[in-house]
Amino acid sequence: MQQRQLGKSGLQVSALGLGCMGLSFAYGPALEHNAAVKLLRAAFDQGVNFFDTAEAYGPYSNETLLGEALAPVRDQVVIATKFGFRNGMPAQGLDSRPDTIRAVVEASLKRLGTDRIELLYQHRVDPQVPVEEVAGAVKQLVQEGKVLHFGMSEAGADAIRRAHAVLPVAALQSEYSLWWREPEEQILPVLEELGIGFVPFSPLGKGFLTGAIDAHTQFAADDFRNVVPRFSEENRTANARLVEVLGAIADGKGATRAQVALAWLLAQKPWIVPIPGTTKPHRLAENNGAASLALSSDDLAAIATALAQIQVVGDRYPAHLQKNVNR
């Protein structure tokens, strides 16, 4: 798989990474351990060298899984993890105090079975802790060699600028896809100006853009999408038009909807690296096939024309979580 550089950081990663959250958190029952290890190793064999986890995924179990699965190829991969939730539990609120950051990193290193974290994200901006203090705490860890690069997630333009002034931000991770394009308004211009890479999560709209989800789909009881407004039955019905248009374009390219959605993201900027997640080996191979799918200027124009006629409806987070983004 081709490599990309995240902004001006010098951090080289595969054009597509793997979002690992769903292996053990948020999308129903965790994948059986041996199957998860097998999938992670298959991703590496297919050219993926960029793996995204967090202490909050599980909590904790996702990092342990990644550490075990990637141990044989540790020096050939880039691991990204995150701090920022109290006790690794989003429901307990935010905590980016410097002492907490250090404690989280030490614990993450042990779970990952490694001596360094290539990319450490602040999971969400904590309004109780100035971002300058957060960046300063990570800077100390960089100086000690425990962290190689600093990232932020779902941060607003002002917070990105302030943090970047203390310690260069290598990458921002936020949601971005054909059905969530808000970053184009303010975030992408700031990232381009400052030389920061962009790592879109949920690049397939939490599965919706694949065409595998419709108004009648039933999610597992503990699936996060049950509380996401955009996934209400009414909104899934309203948003089906986007999937239809994507399918027509995909058919014309001899590709799948997922591959076109990922290729579209890759075509936006050379410093964008999506991290689709999956628990299914055939979906993993399908997603990775997008890295070699080239969309022409005519393809991109056709997609733009089609999108201009579609109004995507529904918030992407329930209200109690929406307050934590774009700070």
Token pair belonging to 284? 């993993």
Residue that has been written with the tokens 């054909």 in this structure: 178
Q: How far is residue 27 from each of residues 64, 208, 225, 227, measured CA to CA in Å? A: 18, 13, 7, 12
Q: How far, in Å, CA of 215 to CA of 173, rounded?
A: 29
Q: The sheet that has 197-201: what strands, in order across it? A: 18-19, 50-52, 78-83, 117-122, 147-153, 169-175, 197-201
Count other Cβ atoms within 10 Å, centred on residue 98.
15
- Catalytic, 176? Answer no
Of the candidates 27, 57, 121, 176, the residue annotated as catalytic is 57
Q: Does an H or E element contain 67, and which? A: helix 61-70
Q: How far is CA 166 from CA 133, 137, 139, 150, in A?
A: 9, 10, 8, 11
Place of tokens 């397939």: 204
Q: How many CB atoms lie within 10 A of CB 229?
A: 15
Active-site positions read 57
